[in-house]
Amino acid sequence: MRWLLNIKSFVRFTVLVSALAAGGAESSEKCAMAEMITSAPTIPQGYNRLYTFLEQEKTIRSGNVDVLILGDSLLYALKNMESSEYFKNRSVLNFAGPGDRIQNLLWRLEDKKIRNTVPSSIILLIGTNNLADGDPACAIVASLRKAVETIFDIWPRARLVLLTIPYRGPYLMDKRDSVDEVDAEMLEQRFSKERVTVLDTRTLISCNPDPTGAESNKNLAVCDDPAKHTSTCYAYQSDMLHFSSDFTTKLTGELASALRQRGARW
């Protein structure tokens, strides 16, 4: 039957491409075509990314784990979280993949070894690389919803902390409208389940390049007034995409707090 499904998918894809080429496709059709990509489990592209996955898979052990981390390089950077003061004596499995898109996460979730784990809590942040690919917000939202549903199909008793996609790029303006659209869907509980907490990364990041400065609130949301933007921010590395070590420490504490509030084993 797999061949029949493949034929149906190809026919649907051909129809959508033809409509786009003719200029008659509506936005819903564009979303549907993009969603075919973002919601289809896809192996990570490139040797380094696949090698990282294989090395991670070697560390997976069946059974209980306190925290499972899923996502892209923004959470892969938390690979030393077990050694932080917030997660002492907690078992943490970081299964995030550098460069991963939502479709890569869905592929990872098919892994038999990861499905044999029993996490009490799960942390998820994914989607910024889909934005970089030009995927529309509507397709990202739909695929994120599929990822959340898949997670609860595998681990129905787990609690989930879902992080919104952070701002990115010079002056934190790259793909900003799309970031806001996706994040609004999360915050409006379109992903609502009893055991989901949505943590807004944007409210944790300050425009102030000095996190200890007295001139602005360290926890102030990113400035909406372009005149107040700085080209760099203490929360980011120089690429204005990946988090700085200072902000990673702050984020780790916020995640621990969110997990405690959701009644995780602590």
Torsion of CA 149, 150, 152, 155, to 10 degrees: 180
CA-closest candidate to residue 201, choices 219, 185, 174: 219
The domain defined by 45-261 folds into Rossmann fold (3.40.50)
pLDDT of residue 168: 92
* Domain boundaries defined on the chain: 1-38, 45-261
Neighbours of 43 (CB within 10 A): 12
pLDDT of residue 19: 42
How many angstroms separate the Cα of 136 from the Cα of each of 106, 139, 179, 225, 239? 18, 6, 10, 25, 23
CA-closest candidate to residue 147, choices 117, 197, 102: 102
The span from the CA of 91 to the CA of 93, in Å, is 7
* Predicted confidence pLDDT, tens digits, the chain (266 residues): 444 444 445 444 444 444 444 444 558 888 999 999 999 999 999 999 999 999 999 999 999 999 999 999 999 999 889 889 999 889 999 999 999 999 999 999 999 999 999 999 999 999 999 999 999 999 999 999 999 999 999 999 999 999 999 999 887 889 999 999 999 999 986 666 678 999 999 888 865 544 444 444 433 344 545 555 556 677 889 898 999 998 999 999 999 999 988 666 55
Contact 123, 69 (CB under 8 A): yes
pLDDT of residue 29: 87
**What's the whole-model pTM score?**
0.83
